[in-house]
Structure 1
Amino acid sequence: MSTTRLTVAQATIRFLEAQHVERDGERHPFFAGCWGIFGHGNVAGLGEALLEREVLRNEGGPTDHEPLRYFQGRNEQAMVHAAVAYARHRDRMRAFAVTASVGPGATNMVTGAALATINRLPVLLLPGDTFATRVANPVLQELEDPANGDLSVNDVFRPVSRYFDRIERPEQLPSALLRAVRVLTDPVETGAVTLAMPQDVQAEAHDWPDELFATRTWHVARPLPEPDALSRVVAAIRRAERPLIVSGGGTIYAGADRALRALAEATGLPVAETQAGKGSLPFDHPRSVGAIGSTGTTAANALAAEADLVIGVGTRYSDFTTASRTVFAHPDVQFVNLNVAAFDAHKLSAIPLVADALRGLEALTEQLAGWTTDADHTARATQLAAEWDAIVTSAYQRDERPLPAQSQVLGVVNELSAPADVVVCAAGSMPGDLHKLWRTRDRKGYHVEYGFSCMGYEIAGGLGVAMAADDAGEDRDVFVMVGDGSYLMMNTELVTAVQEDRKIIVVLVQNHGFASIGALSESLGSQRFGTRYRARTGSGLDGDILPVDLAANAASLGADVIVARDIDEFRDAIIRAQAATRTTVVHVETDPMIPAPDSPAWWDVPVSEVSGLESTQQARIVYDRHKQHQRPHLATPAPTPEENDR
């Protein structure tokens, strides 16, 4: 058996270069590169290995595989966000590795790991770790536990990783790497994978079998629906009087949007969308009724309240989708769930159809040939969608207020952006407004991270989307919508966007505080406490607006900056940003007290049961009223006609 002598770090990088992925006959390398910030825990191991490969690439040396590209980040959490956004834009068919040093460098990645796993998006984390030999314990940044000699701060990755391992001997590496990539490429199990790398082991040499570095192709399967399960689902759909499809992120990742459109057009079934599923149909498709749930449209939520059958496609039914289990209000509502993950397919006491979304939708279209839902039901859905679209048009229009509403800002960007352009957002009030108001025209035109809703994701995520689009040869502008709260938490990857010459357009909305939580606080009787950026006075944080110049901050990080003082200047600024070739930040101040149009859907956030504040007491009365409408959805699915005959 032929071998090659390499360090553990060098072998890891060589292995990653050799991994390929294939689906539907399309094959390409799985790993797009490696993000990294170096410290004593990884600089001489993974840092040296990446340098060696970069030198080889630059010098044109012989190699079996394209050397892995290295990208320099400014914040460890942000590197993971960029990696995850890249993977999402590429439908989980490409991914990044991310390395950071031992200690705070490693633990800074934990938030990104949680985001990846909750959203079921692949990222490989390679944090440095303390010495496996323990010859110099405690080393710098090591956590000592008197009761656990093998404990390290990297153990915090265990609950937020789909697979975790610590490489304490070179012999452990091959099996760990194979397990890691198996999880990363599995649409059911994917998420963050963490391989903790003790710094001494990274630099240790070993004779590796050459087979470890041979080209390996991971085939991403498209599981077919089981025939009996398909029959049960088809029977349930055929007997439904007011069915509704709820399309989630699984539709997008499976590339099943065309199959969904074909099913909707053939059957007349209306389609509502979750945050991750927005873009499953173009906003103006006759069967599209828009966003559903707590941030949903009046159209989708009215249909959800009436639906006797809900057909979930690739959704995990978060509390925002179900409006905390109040939006599906029909007394006899049943659920059918098409999902590649059995865990999700069985939610809400559904009739499960465990299959790939594309193959499942194709099978349903074939089995339902000739059947259509009631024409009045389809017509009502179309009318409700048209009524909501008129509301969106009204929200987008200009008025004479001194400061524009956030909905007007979104309207300008939506109007001026091209159909293939991407809007990126994650936290605050804008995700809800975007879900309701954004008119999506492309299956990849909407990128809102709402599984973890992580403040600070926006700019790093926008960079990841821009990199993914560039690598795929796509002509798209990327619009990052970020509020001042999220911007202050993480803006550093503006520097990386400039360094990498990747253009993003950042719309920085200044409203001097946390608009989303401010509105929520007020609705819960907490009077917007702690949500406004104000100077401290003797009575609290209720003084003047803070003299913070975010536009100047963005300029100091290397971006071009345009300040818009009203909605007309904002429109001109967006046009200038589109014509620019560099990352551009458009700063605009909005009025946080002007809400976007809404549906009456609810979100369960408990209110204090007792309080001396009248505002809280009144909010509790409203809360108790809503709680009466929550549903456990524990009913047994109705039997099929065949089952009744048995």
Structure 2
Amino acid sequence: MIRATVAQALVRFLAVQEVERDGQRTPFFAGCLGIFGHGNLAGIGQALQQHADLLSYVPARNEQAMVHVATAYARQRNRLGAWACTSSVGPGATNMVTGAALATVNRLPVLLLPGDTFATRAPHPVLQQLEAPHDGNLSVNDAFRPVSRYFERIERPEQLVGAALAAMRVLTDPAETGAVTLALPEDVQTEVVEVPEAFLEPRVWTLFRRPPAPEALARAAARIVAAKRPLVVAGGGTIYSEATAALRALVDATGIPVSETQAGRGALISDHPLSLGAVGATGTAAANRLARDADLVIGVGTRWSDFTTASKSAFQDPGVEFVNINVAALDAVKHSGLAVEADAREALTALTAALQGHQVDPDWRARAARESAAWAQEVARVIAPAADGAPTTQASVVAAVNDAAGERGVVVCAAGSLPGDLHKLWRARDPDGKGYHVEYGFSCMGYEIPGGMGIKLAAPDREVYVMVGDGSYLMLPGDLATAVAERIPIVIVLVDNHGYASIGALSRSVGSHGFGTHYRARANGALPVDNDAGDALAVAALPGTDPAHPDLAANAESLGATVIRCAGVAEVRAALAAARDVRDGPVVVHVEVDRYAGVPSYEGWWDVPVAAVSDSAAVQSARAEYETAREAQRAHVETGR
């Protein structure tokens, strides 16, 4: 038996956990991110200091942001690596709840170690403790329960061994992974525990690839052979299981075209003639047109969010059927599809073999190739720089970043209008699918900068380009200082459109004229809105405050970043080239863009309800359009066979 504090034993345990897949073994934990307070300083903090040679520690500036760093790291590592995150009890802990939800929604492993109130209850109520008059056992850490894949409060030292092993079981399970929370009462962290020597010996967690059940595979192959217009919807699981080569082999062998979700963007390179790009509410014309007519949809590693399914209006063939390849039973049965519970790479490889000699209808394949080529021409049109004197468009900035990233660079984004533009316009060039990293499962504002840090920590050999709007930047700019302190060389393209452009456009579409989405001062007590032409009304501004908007470039400079101010897309391209020479920390490229020059929607629809009763003619018109669009919605229910 080995004698240590609970915190010391836990840190030593985390340091020796390893993960193995396909014969490749690597340490699972890269380190621990954290902010110390009274609830974890003397426990986890002391243990990290004592065992700094075993598990590295990185101080953060914001608890939510550090969870985003850990989540992005796990995604870039295809869920084969993770960080732990520690905070004190109270606001430090609850700040991590949003990050926990994001990790769980996206099925990405992150270990949260929040301090908790005293198990002995001797000093209750302790500093920052929320007391619940109806429940003496409750602490704010119970807020982690609904957003964690596994939750446990370690109230006695003897519980450590079982809790730590249970945490690792979930973290390394591709079907069950997400945020795992071990709440640690601050007194228990410092208490003595005796653990078996084997608990602190290196432990390997092998991720065996689950093959498809033979009968499920045979049924899936039969459906594909019988289909006249099959379509693949590739999700994030395709990339996490490193199945992009297997997907391409299936496409080349059969001629089945491929569309992609946000998490699956880049599963097939854009130059492939059967690559249709993004599907759904932020989809391309090519993907959405073929989705409308497909009679068989093969979902690979997707959880079928409403953006992907365009609120169940994308697939309009009356007899459309689904085959769902997924490691998670929850996702495999969606749309009443044929569930093929399996690792994506194993299933696609087996499916290609089972379909040997089969080719899709030549007309369907030819149509897909035409739509793909036409879409490439449409992208070229949309991303073209604005005419001389015209405002810079966001689409042209996306193109500049796309070119700078090349094949190996990674773009990261999360919220606002940028994810929709990226989903449609990005030309994926990395055959491994790791060049596109848009967090859209939770679409969390503020994810971008810490997300870029996590990607760079996971893939130091890749250039990382963070694209962030001004609204999302203002949510979590503080960890830019962490990137400076840790000398993490990422390029942050700060696209400034003076407000919440995405929601502003959505507001206009439902007849609300962009209400509450401008960064402008009130005029005579009134909030700024847009007119029917989509322009900001003059009443929105006061003299000298048009717009009432902070100098974000100066803010980034104050946090220690190298900042390059750009007046147009040509200067953005030059700044991106210059940023490659800065290797000792982050570079911020700031550019203002036209708030109203959006990328069109391409035959996708998203169910956003419009007020059924209103005095506004614009709202009444939007409601009528909504009622018409909603008629295309359907529930996909197949008979069991």
Which TM-score band (shorter chain)?
over 0.9
Of 435, 456, 465, which aligns to 1:466?
456
Cα distance in structure 2, aligned partners of 1:547 and 1:342: 47
Query: Retained in 1: the 8 A contact 2:67–2:85?
Result: yes
> Equivalent residues in 2 for 1:585-604 (5 A)?
585-604=588-607
1:525 aligns with 2:527: no
Of 569, 572, 582, which aligns to 2:571?
569
Which residue identity is paired with 1:409? Answer: V
Cα shift at 1:246 = 0.5
Query: Retained in 1: the 8 A contact 2:32–2:57?
Result: yes
Q: Between 571-580 and 173-182, report the one with greater CA deviation.
A: 571-580
> Equivalent residues in 2 for 1:95-110 (5 A)?
95-110=82-97
Cα distance in structure 1, aligned partners of 2:61 and 2:197: 35
Cα distance in structure 1, aligned partners of 2:194 and 2:638: 59
1:255 aligns with 2:266: no
SS at match of 1:82: helix
SS at match of 1:447: strand
SS at match of 2:580: helix
Cα distance in structure 1, aligned partners of 2:573 and 2:469: 18
1:432 aligns with 2:420: yes
Please list the CA deviations of residues 562-601 of structure 1 after superposition, one character each: whole Å capped at 9, or x if unmatched.
Answer: 0001222222111111232231000000001111133021
Query: In structure 1, what is the equivalent of residue 341 of structure 2?
Result: 354
Give the TM-score normalised by the residue count of structure 1: 0.95
Cα distance in structure 2, aligned partners of 1:299 and 1:196: 48
> Equivalent residues in 2 for 1:32-51 (5 A)?
32-51=30-49
> Equivalent residues in 2 for 1:331-480 (5 A)?
331-400=318-387, 401-442=389-430, 443-470=433-460, 475-480=461-466
Cα distance in structure 2, aligned partners of 1:606 and 1:32: 44
Cα distance in structure 1, aligned partners of 2:493 and 2:225: 46
Query: Retained in 2: the 8 A contact 1:293–1:321?
Result: yes
Cα distance in structure 2, aligned partners of 1:568 and 1:34: 40
Which residue identity is paired with 1:413? Answer: V
Cα distance in structure 2, aligned partners of 1:419 and 1:523: 36
Cα distance in structure 2, aligned partners of 1:354 and 1:334: 17
SS at match of 1:479: strand
Cα distance in structure 1, aligned partners of 2:501 and 2:581: 31
Cα shift at 1:412 = 1.2
Of 314, 324, 328, which aligns to 1:327?
314
Cα distance in structure 1, aligned partners of 2:633 and 2:99: 32
Cα distance in structure 2, aligned partners of 1:407 and 1:206: 58
Query: In structure 2, what is the equivalent of residue 545 of structure 1?
Result: 547
Which residue identity is paired with 1:527? Answer: H
Cα distance in structure 1, aligned partners of 2:549 and 2:603: 37
Of 615, 622, 626, which aligns to 1:623?
626
Query: In structure 2, what is the equivalent of residue 156 of structure 1?
Result: 143
1:633 aligns with 2:636: yes
Query: In structure 1, what is the equivalent of residue 173 of structure 2?
Result: 186
Which residue identity is paired with 2:518? Answer: R
Cα distance in structure 1, aligned partners of 2:123 and 2:600: 61
Query: In structure 2, what is the equivalent of residue 127 of structure 1?
Result: 114
Please list the CA deviations of residues 428-461 of structure 1 after superposition, one character each: whole Å capped at 9, or x if unmatched.
Answer: 0000000000001111000000000000000000
Of 497, 501, 506, which aligns to 2:492?
506
Cα distance in structure 1, aligned partners of 2:349 and 2:95: 43
Query: Retained in 1: the 8 A contact 2:519–2:549?
Result: no
Size of the alignment, in residue pairs? Answer: 621
Please list the CA deviations of residues 154-177 of structure 1 after superposition, one character each: whole Å capped at 9, or x if unmatched.
Answer: 000000000000000000110000
Query: In structure 2, what is the equivalent of residue 143 of structure 1?
Result: 130
Which residue identity is paired with 2:22? Answer: D
Cα distance in structure 1, aligned partners of 2:275 and 2:569: 30
Cα shift at 1:399 = 2.3
Which residue identity is paired with 1:451? Answer: G
Query: In structure 1, what is the equivalent of residue 14 of structure 2?
Result: 16
Query: Retained in 1: the 8 A contact 2:231–2:296?
Result: yes
Cα distance in structure 2, aligned partners of 1:79 and 1:416: 27
Which residue identity is paired with 2:50? Answer: E
Gaps of 5+ in 2: 528-539
Give the TM-score normalised by the residue count of structure 2: 0.96
Identity of aligned residues (%): 59
Cα distance in structure 2, aligned partners of 1:614 and 1:424: 39
Q: Between 185-194 and 531-540, report the one with greater CA deviation.
A: 531-540
Cα distance in structure 1, aligned partners of 2:366 and 2:477: 46
SS at match of 2:297: strand
Which residue identity is paired with 2:183? Answer: A
Which residue identity is paired with 1:465? Answer: I
Which stretches of structure 1, 4 residues or more, deviate above 4 A after TM superposition? Answer: none
Query: Retained in 2: the 8 A contact 1:402–1:566?
Result: no
Cα shift at 1:539 = 3.8
Query: Retained in 1: the 8 A contact 2:498–2:549?
Result: no
Do the aligned partners of residues 557 and 343 (structure 1) sit closer, same or farther apart at CA in structure 2, a change above 3 Å counting? same
Query: In structure 2, what is the equivalent of residue 197 of structure 1?
Result: 184
Which residue identity is paired with 1:516? Answer: S
Cα distance in structure 1, aligned partners of 2:193 and 2:69: 33
SS at match of 1:46: helix
1:535 aligns with 2:521: yes
Query: In structure 1, what is the equivalent of residue 468 of structure 2?
Result: 482
Cα distance in structure 2, aligned partners of 1:284 and 1:234: 27
Which residue identity is paired with 1:235? Answer: A
Which residue identity is paired with 1:422? Answer: V
Cα distance in structure 1, aligned partners of 2:571 and 2:324: 47
Query: Retained in 1: the 8 A contact 2:243–2:344?
Result: yes
Query: In structure 1, what is the equivalent of residue 613 of structure 2?
Result: 610
1:115 aligns with 2:102: yes
Query: In structure 1, what is the equivalent of residue 530 of structure 2?
Result: none
Query: Retained in 1: the 8 A contact 2:386–2:393?
Result: no
Please list the CA deviations of residues 4-43 of structure 1 after superposition, one character each: whole Å capped at 9, or x if unmatched.
Answer: 1100000100110111110000011111100010000000
Query: In structure 2, what is the equivalent of residue 643 of structure 1?
Result: none
Query: In structure 2, what is the equivalent of residue 81 of structure 1?
Result: 68
Q: Between 497-506 and 81-90, report the one with greater CA deviation.
A: 497-506
Query: Retained in 2: the 8 A contact 1:303–1:381?
Result: yes
Cα distance in structure 2, aligned partners of 1:78 and 1:398: 34
Cα distance in structure 1, aligned partners of 2:560 and 2:390: 30
SS at match of 1:45: helix
Cα distance in structure 2, aligned partners of 1:626 and 1:481: 32
SS at match of 1:237: helix
SS at match of 1:343: helix
Cα shift at 1:547 = 4.3
Cα shift at 1:286 = 1.8
Please list the CA deviations of residues 274-298 of structure 1 after superposition, one character each: whole Å capped at 9, or x if unmatched.
Answer: 0000110111012211110000000
Q: Between 398-407 and 365-374, report the one with greater CA deviation.
A: 398-407
Query: Retained in 2: the 8 A contact 1:391–1:597?
Result: no
> Equivalent residues in 2 for 1:269-280 (5 A)?
269-280=256-267
Gaps of 5+ in 1: 58-66, 640-646
Which residue identity is paired with 1:552? Answer: A
Cα shift at 1:182 = 0.2
SS at match of 1:467: helix
1:268 aligns with 2:255: yes
Cα distance in structure 1, aligned partners of 2:115 and 2:619: 48
Cα distance in structure 2, aligned partners of 1:363 and 1:554: 50
SS at match of 1:14: helix
